[in-house]
Amino acid sequence: MDAQTIISKLPYTKPFLFVDGLTDVSANGIEGHYTYTADHDFFRGHFKQYPVVPGVILTETMAQIGVVCLGIFLLNDELNESIVMALTSSEIEFLIPVFPGEKVTVISEKIYFRFGKLKCRVRMINTQNDTVAEGTIAGMITNRNT
């Protein structure tokens, strides 16, 4: 499955889609990127005179690329409209801020994928290769019809 197919199967659209592209995909991990353009609505109020990407949005970006995109790749032929991936846990450490216009890269390594649960070690870096945030994120594959 190629990068564009994976992205097209994401259950998100703008303005809540935080995946611009995927550069590496395998059964053991995934790498992708996103640029936080200055027109994102959350910059208007977070913070006054000093806009930064909120931690919850950084976490969402890491989850979309590092867990959901990888889950779509791993499920491949089993994926259908009734299957969704829901966040079950995250433990993220935020190290440096991300500002309007910055591009970030998310690098995810699968820890395990069993019994419908995918857990990954996820790291976000900026264009200077500085670690912005890192931690673990897990998601559970569930059937929305049950």
| Residues taking part in catalysis | 46
How distant, in Å, are the alpha carbons of 32, 45, 105 from that of 68? Answer: 12, 28, 15
- Would you say 138 and 119 are in contact if contact means Cβ atoms under 8 Å apart? yes
Strands 131-143, 83-94: pairing kind: antiparallel
- Would you say 62 and 53 are in contact if contact means Cβ atoms under 8 Å apart? no
